[in-house]
């Protein structure tokens, strides 16, 4: 059941959005299997869930799944530029309480989050932890009724762990990001492909032969760098962590400091989760025509304030592509205002990969509800679902892909358990 209040850009886009959602639905078989099951058993009946996560066609499939499973849902986007207005319109037309539109400002962003809390949810679902943070900061009165929350992304989990360390986290949260079927797939292949998709839609440039600099060689950054390499780019990784830098060099990328990479790069992508990765002195040393974008959750990685100070003039030369003419005479290009390029200039990760990420979201929310039904609560802190749940999701995914794998024989299991067996 949905509660039916909404604010979206243009409700007349609903028909187009509905078709987009159908397209995603046809490519999310794991979530479809869970939806078919829970449509009958309705495990979320009587529970209210507030979500703050990119409003995309894939998210719409997740929202429909929660509603079919009996939940009352209220939703906002988790980034000012990532909402797909046609999808938001389709959800609003179906009666979903949704507050999201593309291009909102920061005040509107938090207004939307506030509205999703009006119905006093017992469950929260985040991508970046802005909803949880708002609850803790502004709506502490809601906390006693909140059973728990779930968090989708690396940056959000990091933020929550810091909150937990300082004793500031007041309800239990599942780190969906930490599931293997999330971060080994969504972060690597999802971010890898959708980031290139965003760059190409915004610029239409050839990647082959370009010096392609990726800052941060974690799951997301390595996904981007390896896909760019596959398309013929000369890839460079900039890192602060020795092990990650070592991995990058052994995987065939050049490793350099950003100060050096800035001078040779044609395309720059930040994927670090920290601020000030590309700052004024880097912009000043860049080549004519350099393209810069971010695929980390927050827009703090590229310091646009410092860029403004060394800029003579600017104009929007293409959608999601801002041309800055610097005081040094060179022109450089910032994509999607330094916000998530994959969701702002493209459609985010492909449905096939979100299928597993969102199956984990559903399982994690269900774990909270199941515990609540026993009269208990998870302890305060950041939790992870058991490994078997990962294997189950991966197993279903493989089956839907028509793939079969082997099983250990009894003898192999015995061998595995026997520590005395050696040479
Ligand atoms: N994060 C990255 N890609 C996404 C998508 N397609 N939908 C929702 N969240 C996302």
191-339 homologous superfamily: NAD(P)-binding Rossmann-like Domain (3.40.50.720)
On whether the CB atoms of residues 23 and 57 are closer than 8 A, the answer is yes
Provide CATH code, domain 6-178+348-400.
3.40.50.1480
pTM of the entire structure? 0.95
- What's the pLDDT tens digit per position in 354-387? 999 999 999 999 999 999 999 998 999 999 999 9
To test the ligand 1 pocket, which listed residue (61, 190, 346) has its Cβ within 8 A of the most ligand atoms? 190
Question: In 3-state terms, what secondary structure has residue 123?
Answer: strand
- Regarding the beta carbon of 226 and ligand 1, being less than 6 Å apart is answered no
Helix, strand or coil, per DSSP, at residue 294? strand
Alpha-carbon distance 87 to 11, whole Å? 10
Decide whether any atom of ligand 1 lies within 6 Å of the 74 Cβ.
no
Mutation pick for ligand 1 pocket among 21, 54, 98 (CB with most ligand atoms within 8 Å): 54
Q: What is the pLDDT of residues 280-302, one digit of tens each?
A: 999 999 999 999 999 999 999 99
- Counting residues of the chain whose pLDDT is more than 90, the rounded percentage is 98
**What does the pLDDT average to over 271-276?**
96
* DSSP codes of every residue in 164-212: HHTT---S-EEEGGGSHHHHTTIIIIIHHHHHHHHHHHHH----TT-EE
User: Which pairing describes strands 311-318 and 321-326: parallel, antiparallel, or unpaired?
Assistant: antiparallel
Distance in Å from the first CA to the final CA of the chain = 62
Distances (CA, A) of 384 to 51, 258, 284, 372, 391: 19, 35, 44, 17, 14
How is the chain split into domains, by residue range? Answer: 6-178+348-400, 191-339
Q: Would you say the CB of residue 83 lies under 6 angstroms from ligand 1?
A: no
Those residues with Cβ within 8 angstroms of residue 63's Cβ, 6 or more apart along the chain or in another chain: 51, 73, 75, 91, 96
């Amino acid at each position: 059941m949905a509660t039916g209040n909404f604010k979206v850009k243009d409700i007349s886009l609903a028909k187009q959005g509905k078709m987009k959602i159908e397209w995603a639905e046809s490519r999310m078989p794991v979530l479809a299997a869970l939806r078919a099951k829970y449509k009958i058993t309705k495990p979320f009946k009587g529970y209210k869930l507030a979500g703050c996560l990119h409003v995309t066609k894939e998210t719409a499939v997740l929202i429909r799944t929660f509603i079919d499973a009996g939940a009352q849902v209220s939703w906002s986007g988790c980034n000012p530029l990532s909402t797909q207005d046609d999808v938001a319109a389709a959800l609003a037309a179906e009666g979903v309480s949704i507050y999201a539109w593309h291009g909102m400002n920061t005040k509107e962003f938090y207004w939307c989050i506030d509205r999703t809390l009006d119905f006093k949810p017992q469950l929260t679902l985040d991508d970046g932890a802005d909803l949880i943070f708002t609850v803790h900061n502004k709506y502490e009165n809601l906390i006693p009724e909140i059973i728990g929350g779930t968090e989708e992304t690396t940056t959000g989990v990091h933020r929550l762990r810091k909150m937990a360390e300082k004793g500031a986290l007041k309800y239990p949260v599942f780190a969906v990001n930490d599931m293997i079927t999330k971060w080994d797939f969504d972060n690597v292949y999802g971010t890898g492909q959708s980031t290139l998709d965003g760059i190409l839609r915004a610029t239409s440039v050839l990647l082959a032969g370009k010096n392609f600099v990726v800052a941060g060689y974690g799951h997301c950054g390595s996904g981007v760098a390896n896909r760019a390499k596959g398309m013929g780019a000369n890839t460079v990784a900039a890192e602060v962590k020795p092990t990650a830098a070592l991995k990058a060099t052994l995987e065939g990328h050049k490793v350099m400091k950003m100060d050096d990479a800035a001078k040779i790069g044609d395309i720059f992508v930040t994927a670090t989760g920290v601020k000030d990765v590309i700052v004024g002195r880097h912009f000043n040393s860049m080549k004519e025509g350099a393209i810069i974008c971010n695929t980390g959750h927050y827009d703090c990685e590229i310091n646009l304030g410092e860029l403004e100070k060394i800029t003579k003039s600017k104009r929007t030369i293409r959608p999601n592509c801002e041309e800055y003419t610097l005081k040094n005479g060179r022109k450089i290009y910032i994509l999607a205002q330094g916000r998530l390029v994959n969701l702002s200039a493209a459609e985010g990760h492909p449905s096939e990969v979100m299928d597993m990420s969102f199956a984990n979201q559903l399982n994690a929310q269900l774990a909270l509800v199941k515990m609540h039904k026993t009269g208990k609560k998870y302890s305060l802190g950041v939790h992870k679902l058991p490994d078997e749940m990962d294997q189950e999701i991966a197993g279903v995914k493989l089956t839907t892909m028509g793939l079969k794998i082997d099983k250990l024989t009894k003898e192999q299991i015995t061998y595995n358990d026997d520590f005395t067996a050696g040479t």
